[in-house]
Amino acid sequence: MSKIAVIGTGYVGLVSGACLADFGNHVVCVDNNAEKIAALKTGVIPIYEPGLDLVVARNIAAGRLSFTMDLAAAVKANDVAFIAVGTPPSDDGSADLRYVEQVSREIARAMDFYKIIVDKSTVPVGTGRKVEGWIREELSARGVDLPFDVVSNPEFLREGSAVQDFTHPDRVVIGSESERAHTIMKDVYRSLYLNETPYIETNLETAEMIKYASNAFLAVKITFINEVANLCEKVGANVQDVAKAMGRDGRIGAKFLHPGPGYGGSCFPKDTQAMARTGRDHGEPLSIIEATIEANEKQKARMVEKIETGLGGTGSLSGKTIAILGLSFKPNTDDMRDSPAIAVCEGLVARGAKLRAWDPAAMKEAAWRLASIKDSLLFANDEYDALDGADALVLMTEWNQFRNLDLDRVKTLLKAPNFFDLRNVYKREELETEGFAYFAVGK
C-alpha cells in the first residue's frame, strides 16, 4: 500500500486518484478549485464519466480516498505526489507549464522527507528536468537539502471509458533514473504489475516522448483516413469499405480509421501542437505532424462547406435553421475542449444560419463555450426538440441515442429532410429510401 497525494482533480486526477485507491492505495486528491472539492466531499462527481461515481463512492466508504484543498498537508502526509494539473496550449502552441511549475514549487515548499514527484500531466520532453530544477530552487531557498526523485508516468486513458482504461491499460510507462523511485512505483501499480500489464521502465525523457509520439500518431491516423475520405468523395469510392479492408491488415489495425469532422478533445489538438513546437525548437521539424494539424483545421472548415453545398451552395445557409445533434468532442463525455462542434457551429452561424443544438451531457459546457454565437443558438430540450422546424439535421457526435433515431419522427419534425451524418453512422440506402437527402463523409 502506497500513500499518495494526487494534485489536480480533473478528468485525469480524479480518475487516477479513485482508481489508485481502488488498487488498495491510500489517496488524497487535491485541487485549488473550492467548488470542485466541496462537490466531491458531498459525493457529487463534477464531470460526466461513466462508472466513476461508483469507484469514488466505494473508496470513500473504504476510507482510502479523500479530498482536500490543502496541498501542503497532503504532501507532508504522503510519500508520492502525482501532478495531474492541466497543460493547455500557449499562444505559440507550446504547452503552458505554469500550473506544473506552481505545483512543483508548492510541493517543494511543503516537503519534509524523501518524496517521489510523479508527473502524470502531459508535458514536453525536458519538463521532468525542469520540475527537478524548480524543486531544487525552492529547497535551496528554504536552506534545506532533502532527497527526492522525479518520475514521468504519462496517462493514456480515454474520456468516456476512463475507468476501464486506467484499470486495464495497454501499458504502464514509468520514466526515472532512480532505482528507489522505480521500486516505489512498482508498489503504486502493484495490482497491475502482478497482473502482468506491460510495464515499461525507462528514463524521464523517453517516457515524456512516448506520450507525445502516441497521441501524435493517433492524430495522424485519423487525419490520414479523413483525407482519404475526401478523395473518396471525389472519385466515387466508399471510405468505410476502404477503412474496413485496410483495418484487416494487422500492420495497420482497424482503430482510429473512422472519418469524421476532424479530431478534437483535450489532448490531440494541444499535444500535436506542443510536439510540433518541440520539433521546431530543436531544429527537427516534424513535417507529418505539422501537416496533420493543418489538415485537421481544413477538415472542420470542410464540414461547414459540405453543409452549405448540400443546401444549395454559396449563400444557402443564410436564414436557415440547422439542428445540431451532439456537441461534446466524442460520446460519453461532457468535455467540449477543442470539440469540432465548436468550429462547425461557429462556421454555420458566420454564414448566416441559426442553430438548435442538443447534447446528452455537454449542455452546461456548451453554454459558455458557444457564448460568442448565443444570439443565433437555441439550446433544445432533447434531440427531437432540436429538429423541430429545422432545415437540416447535422449529426456531430455519435452518442448511442443518435444511432437509432425514429426516422419517421425526424422527417415529420424537420422542415426539409436534409441529413448530414458527419460520423457515418447511418446507411445511405436506408436514409434515401426514407426520403432524406443524405450527406456523409467519404461515401
* Least Å from the CB of residue 97 to ligand NAD: 10
Each residue 64-83 as x (binds ligand NAD by CB under 6 A) or -, in order, gives: -------x------------
Inter-residue contact 278 to 92 (CB < 8 Å): no
Q: x/- string (CB under 6 A) for ligand NAD, residues 98-117?
A: -x--xx--------------
Question: What distance in Å separates the CA atoms of residue 404 and residue 76, rounded to the nearest whole number?
Answer: 53
* Contact of 320 with 311, CB cutoff 8 Å: yes
Q: Known catalytic residues?
A: 267
Q: Which stretch binds ligand NAD (CB under 6 A): 8-16, 56-64, 233-241, 298-306?
A: 8-16
**29-58 footprint of ligand NAD as x/- string (CB under 6 A):** -xxxx--x----------------------
Asked if residues 125 and 153 have their Cβ atoms less than 8 Å apart, the reply is no
With CB under 6 A as the contact rule, which of the stretches 25-33, 174-182, 291-299, 377-385 interacts with ligand NAD?
25-33
Cα dist from 35 to 44, 67, 69, 363, 369, whole Å: 11, 12, 10, 19, 20
| Shortest spacing between CB 270 and ligand NAD, in angstroms | 7
- State the minimum distance, in angstroms, from the CB of residue 155 to ligand NAD: 4
Stretch that binds ligand NAD, among 85-93, 347-355, 372-380, 407-415 (CB under 6 A): 85-93
Specify the residue, 9 or 176, whose C-beta has the smaller distance to ligand NAD. 9
Q: What angle do CA 440, 228, 94 make, to 5 degrees?
A: 100
Closest residue to ligand NAD, judged by C-beta, is 10
> Which of residues 84, 355, 361, 414 is near ligand NAD by CB under 6 A?
84
Under DSSP, the state recorded for 263 is -
Of 28-36, 124-132, 139-147, 302-310: span binding ligand NAD (CB under 6 A) = 28-36
Q: Please list every residue from 170 through 229 that binds ligand NAD, using CB under 6 A.
A: none
Q: Candidates 135-143, 154-162, 312-320, 373-381: pick the segment binding ligand NAD (CB under 6 A).
A: 154-162
CA dihedral 282, 283, 288, 291 (to 10 degrees): 100
Count residues near ligand NAD (CB under 6 A). 27
Among the listed residues 22, 149, 155, 308, the single contact to ligand NAD using CB under 6 A = 155
DSSP-derived 3-state class of residue 360? coil
Nearer to ligand NAD, 7 or 276 (CB): 7
Task: List the helix and strand counts (H, then E) for the chain.
Answer: 18, 14
Closer by beta carbon to ligand NAD, 15 or else 311: 15
What is the closest distance, in whole angstroms, from the C-beta atom of residue 324 to ligand NAD in the complex?
Answer: 23
What lies within 8 Å, CB to CB, of 410 at 6+ separation is: 384, 387, 393, 419
286-291 contacts at long range (C-beta below 8 A, 24 or more positions apart): 286/216, 288/220, 289/216, 289/219, 289/220
Q: Hey, is 358 helix, strand or coil?
A: strand
Query: CA 65, 68, 70: angle at the middle one, nearest 5?
Result: 135
Comparison of 85 and 239: residue with beta carbon closer to ligand NAD = 85
Please report how close the Cβ of residue 336 comes to ligand NAD at its closest, in angstroms: 12
Among 159, 233, 308, 346, binds ligand NAD (CB under 6 A): 159
CB 256, min distance to ligand NAD, A: 15
Min separation Cβ 115 and ligand NAD, Å:
16
The closest alpha carbon to 356, from 326, 318, 313, belongs to: 326
* CB neighbourhood size of 53 (10 A): 14
- Within residues 261-280, the interface with ligand NAD by CB under 6 A covers 266-267
9 is a site residue for ligand NAD (CB under 6 A): yes
Q: Which of 282, 323, 276 is nearest to 295 (CA)?
A: 276
Binder of ligand NAD out of 13, 124, 259, 360 (CB under 6 A): 13
- 32 or 206: whose CB is closer to ligand NAD? 32
How much of the chain is helix, strand and coil, in % rounded to 5? 50, 15, 40
Query: Exposed (0-12), middle (13-18) or buried (19+): which is 282, by Cβ within 10 Å?
Result: exposed
Residue 163 to residue 20: CA distance in whole angstroms: 11
Half-sphere exposure of 398 (CA within 13 A, CB side): 12
Angle between the N-to-C axes of helices 287-310 and 204-235, in degrees from 0 to 180, rounded to the nearest 10: 40
Q: Which stretch binds ligand NAD (CB under 6 A): 7-15, 133-141, 188-196, 230-238?
A: 7-15
What does the binding site for ligand NAD look like in residue numbers (CB under 6 A)? 7-13, 30-33, 36, 71, 84-87, 99, 102-103, 121-122, 155, 157, 159, 266-267
